[in-house]
Amino acid sequence: MIRVGLTGGIGAGKSTVAATFAERGGYLIDADKIAREVVAVGSDGLRQLVEAFGADILAADGSLDRPALAAKAFSDDEQRQKLNSITHPLIGARTQELLDAAGADAIVVQDIPLLVENHSAPFFHIVVIVGADAELRVHRLTTSRGLDEQDARARIAAQATDEQRRAVADAWLDNSSTPDRLAEAAARLWDERLVPLEAGVRLGVPATPVAALVSQDPNPASLGTRLTNRLWALCGANATAVEVISSEPVTRLRVTARAGAEPELEQALPPGGFVATAPGEYASADPGRPAVVTIGD
């Protein structure tokens, strides 16, 4: 199983990519859908919100009145933390339930609008970002979703910048053209990169780098940082250091193991996308992100 983090700014066209991946067999986990589900009518989450914020956050039909909740929950940091302490564990638990139900050969696509803002990119095998020019996104939001221009610009400004997204992106799907063109690009990414990555992880086979995919890296300068952060996410407290040794032609990294923790690292790296090629050496299973990792002490 591999986990694909999918995100993009409002109006960029992320839903088209999510639908394309799902059509090709992706196991889709929609963060927004889960966030609504855990506070649906009759849920424990809604009960907890009413206890914390009062019954006046309910609409006439008993459902959550989101504007009423927002008026209370975002009035200060303490109220915001109270909201997060209720919803975040519920969302996390439901997400984990869905992950546990995925098949061993699944390509799990986690559609997360705030993936960049929440700093969760390192926890995915690959991060796919859908991008489009801000002015084009404003046009889409005002013509297709009915937002006024000021609201559309405010929503875009409140999210991560394209620069911040490129810093964590392993693949960038440009949506400056038509939905059909975007769907075609997403399908190619699925076939040429995501399917081989999943097979490599599941079978323990390192990738043969594909030059065309490598050249499409959205931000080659950030590759070392992305790989370093991914390794920290996999290794955690079992490592004392992760460093880039060289970057040409293949990025090489060294993980320094905590005393006695080499077995834990050897178990963590293969399912995380770095498969064993020799004792203490691991290679990326991603044909678009070649890397070699060694474990030392």
Say if residue 101 is exposed, middle or buried (CB neighbours under 10 Å; 0-12, 13-18, 19+).
exposed
In the annotated binding site for ATP, the residues are 11-16
232: number of CA atoms within 13 Å, CB side?
Answer: 14
CB-CB contact of 8 with 130 (8 Å): yes
Binding-site residues sit at 11-16
| Strands across the sheet containing 2-8 | 27-30, 107-111, 2-8, 126-131, 171-174
Residues contacting residue 68 through CB under 8 Å, at least 6 positions apart: 56, 57, 58, 59
Chain-centroid distance, C-alpha 59: 33
What are φ and ψ of residue 150, in 5° steps? -60, -40
Q: Give the separation between CA 206 and CA 215, rounded to whole angstroms.
A: 19
Tokens of 190: 């699925």
Q: How many CB atoms lie within 10 A of CB 241?
A: 13
Between CA 15 and CA 19, with CA 18 as vertex, the angle to 5 degrees is 85
Using CA atoms, how far apart are residues 152 and 175, in angstroms rounded to an integer?
18
Q: Determine the Cα–Cα distance for residues 175 and 189; give it in Å rounded to an integer.
A: 14
